[in-house]
Amino acid sequence: MSPLVTAGHRLQLNEIPYGPPPSVQAALSAALASANRYPEFLPRRLPRLIADRLGCAPDHVVVGAGATGVIMHIVQEFGAGGAEVVMATPTFDGFPILTSMAGGRPVAVPLTGSGRQDLAALAAAVTERTRLLVVCSPHNPTGTLVPTAEFEALLREVPESVTVVLDEAYVDFVAESDRIDVFALLDRHPNLLVLRTFSKAYGLAALRVGYALGAPHLINRIAHWQLPFGMTALAEVAVRACYEAEAEIEARVALLGEHRRRLTTGLRTLGLCVPDSYANFSYLTLPGPEADRVATALAGADIHVKSYPTGIRITVGDRAATDAVLATVRSTVQ
């Protein structure tokens, strides 16, 4: 885990640069008056709230302490005992880390040369010991999107004994026309789980609210691992308030899209390779030594980013953050 950063530009954890909307803050402040009361023993109201919003039955939803908390329960149930979990590399750090913590074995499949997940190679990596296969769309850290047709082809190829996890942590930054119709796929593929979170576009990272969508038989197995009193009452309050403030949140997402385009265009103008991103970050593709040099320069300017062997992930911040990133990178590569 990265240390807490209190100065400079925090661009390493894909947080949005804005606090919750005022109405959400007001709802949370009012809810603190009941902080002496325990939340539900096991969460029931929050899954119903999410299900009502999405138009599905509550038994298709399980919640957890952020998407990371849900992932932990998934790998505890399906990935323990030396089971193989197939995933891209690099990917969201939580998948290999939590798989190992649960006693599973991460099976890493390299990205393509264009920074995309190689779905054919992921399917080919499945063996009789595989219990989980993970796909991220948008992908973390490159921000690339998985086309619907390719994902459907993967689902048809993977045995039903393997649970496929589609991590959509950044789906709120994707235009509706570019999104996978996950409910149509869930109806046809009972081995599919879809992960989402309120930590990114909704700006609730500190409250740890995530969920998975899936068939009831999978959801029940994941819920078996939930910690009693593990979801705070503030989570339900914040989610309800965010749904009511959705127009304001959508406006923030649109603004971040403009900042992302400016960051990406600015980096490309310097002659650098940046894949099209559908998330709230841009991925600066660089070979190891060059990436180290740029990351060192950014750190020296008090700009905190996430480095990988193939490049640097830069969270989209406000205009000042983008200006600082572009100025520092420009002075380093030119």
Interval 247-302: pLDDT, tens: 999 999 999 999 999 999 999 999 999 999 999 999 999 887 888 899 999 999 99
Confidence of residue 7 (pLDDT cuts 50, 70, 90): low
- 266: domain CATH number is 3.90.1150.10
Residue 117 sits in the same domain as residue 253: no
Residue of higher predicted confidence among 13 and 289: 13
**Residue 1 within any structural domain of the chain:** no
Question: Is-contact 298 311, C-beta < 8 A?
Answer: no
Number of residues that make up the chain: 334
What pTM was computed for the model? Answer: 0.94
Q: What is the DSSP code (8-state) at residue 226?
A: P
* 169 has pLDDT over 50: yes
- 169: domain CATH number is 3.40.640.10
Residue 109 sits in the same domain as residue 216: yes
Distance (Å, whole) CA 270 – CA 333: 8
Residue 276 sits in the same domain as residue 150: no
**Residue 194 within any structural domain of the chain:** yes
| 268 closest CA partner among 282, 250, 249, 254 | 282
- Residue 298 tokens read as 């950014």
**Residue 2 within any structural domain of the chain:** no
**Residue 215 within any structural domain of the chain:** yes
- pLDDT at position 96 is 97
Total structural domains in the chain?
Answer: 2
Q: Domain span at residue 288?
A: 9-19+247-333
Residue 231 sits in the same domain as residue 162: yes
Q: Are strands 163-167 and 105-110 parallel, antiparallel or unpaired?
A: unpaired
Distance (Å, whole) CA 220 – CA 222: 5
Distance (Å, whole) CA 334 – CA 331: 6
pLDDT of 39-98, one tens digit each?
A: 999 999 999 999 999 999 999 999 999 999 999 999 999 999 999 999 999 999 999 999
- pLDDT at position 80 is 93
- pLDDT at position 291 is 87
| Of 187, 213, 244, the domain-final residue | 244
| 310 closest CA partner among 126, 115, 129 | 115
Distance (Å, whole) CA 238 – CA 286: 39
Mean pLDDT, all residues of the chain: 94
Question: Is-contact 130 124, C-beta < 8 A?
Answer: no
